[in-house]
Amino acid sequence: MKSAERFRIGDYDCWALADGELVYPGATLLPPEAKPPGHMSVPYLAMLVDTGSTRVLIDTGGGALGPHTGKLPESIALTGFSADDIHTIILTHGHPDHIGAIGQYPDAALVMMRMEFEFWTAAETQAKLERGRLYGLAEMEPLMSASVRDQLVPARDRLRILDRPTDITAGILVFPAPGHTPGHAAVLISSGRQQLLYVGDAVIHPLQFEHPEWVSAFDLAPDETVRARRQLLERAAADRCLLAASHVPGAVGAVELRQGRFRWEAASGDKSQFRTPSMPEDHSPN
């Protein structure tokens, strides 16, 4: 379902945008101790920031990845803008639900960490994906390979590669937050005295706020993932900035540290967990 939830960060207009949802096996998202259901419907979310002079989109959504994805252009239209109005797209990482619609924004500049681009386009990585040996999820990995081949590689000429934390425009900082993938990035949006920390897939389920040690099958480096997650949550709590993630219902909210545990509260008031569907549908990689 298309949607665009508007909020302000200082002088900047921001929108949490829906790209749709996809059903995943619960065991790929949460460890056994979380007792995940057989399948969970995962929201796909992106972020649009309008600084007044520049419009920045964070991630492109999954495009035609599944039967209920690819709604991002419709959600963008609800903001009054279109794909042609996007100046820059920040790609937090190379999974299909984040790069799967690059081709729908042919005029936008792209931004990605060097380590991320080089990892996914490496012949060794592609070979492992084709054989289902990177994650051990054979039915999903060819989709990852195809997304890199069909979306990311053709866009290389308009891709700005980052080697370090970089302000891509006033008030929008891209910086490494590795673990989920080798070059996974987070984004800090600052205007006036307000901040929003966009953590991408460093958190993929609401239970990971209280249990940051819980990792998923899609976290390539579990220890690094947990370390990056804790650092991001600590920063959000200490700086009292809003936090947004790519797959957390409610999209934008606040993090508090209480008695050694992180607590999450969605700013929209939607505190729901992922839905558990009655019937499994298509699924694909996070």
Question: By mean pLDDT, which of 88-92, 256-260, 265-269 is the weakest?
Answer: 265-269
Does a structural domain hold residue 252? yes
Average pLDDT over residues 81-108: 98
Distance CA 14, CA 5 (A): 8
Query: 4: which strand partners?
Result: 17
Domain coverage including residue 237? 4-266
Does a structural domain hold residue 283? no
Q: Are 253 and 267 in contact (CB under 8 A)?
A: yes
Does a structural domain hold residue 198? yes
Q: Does 24 score more than 90 pLDDT?
A: yes
Does a structural domain hold residue 273? no
Supply the DSSP symbol for 2: -
Does a structural domain hold residue 249? yes
Supply the DSSP symbol for 152: I
Q: Does 52 score more than 70 pLDDT?
A: yes
More confident of the two residues 279 and 249: 249
Q: Which of 262, 280, 141, 116 is nearest to 200 (CA)?
A: 116
Does a structural domain hold residue 173? yes
Is 0.85 topped by the overall pTM?
A: yes
State pLDDT tens for residues 131-177.
Answer: 999 999 998 999 999 999 999 999 999 999 999 999 999 999 999 99
Residues 6 or more apart in contact with residue 245 via CB below 8 angstroms: 45, 198, 199, 200, 201, 202, 203, 204, 251
Average pLDDT over residues 74-88: 97
State pLDDT tens for residues 4-13.
Answer: 999 999 999 9
What pLDDT band is residue 273 in, cutting at 50, 70 and 90?
very low
Does a structural domain hold residue 76? yes
Give the CATH number of the domain where residue 176 resides: 3.60.15.10
Q: What is the DSSP string of 248-282?
A: -TTSEEEEEEETTEEEEEETTS-----B--SS---
Q: Does 119 score more than 80 pLDDT?
A: yes
Does a structural domain hold residue 286? no
Number of domains in the chain: 1
**pLDDT attached to residue 2:** 84
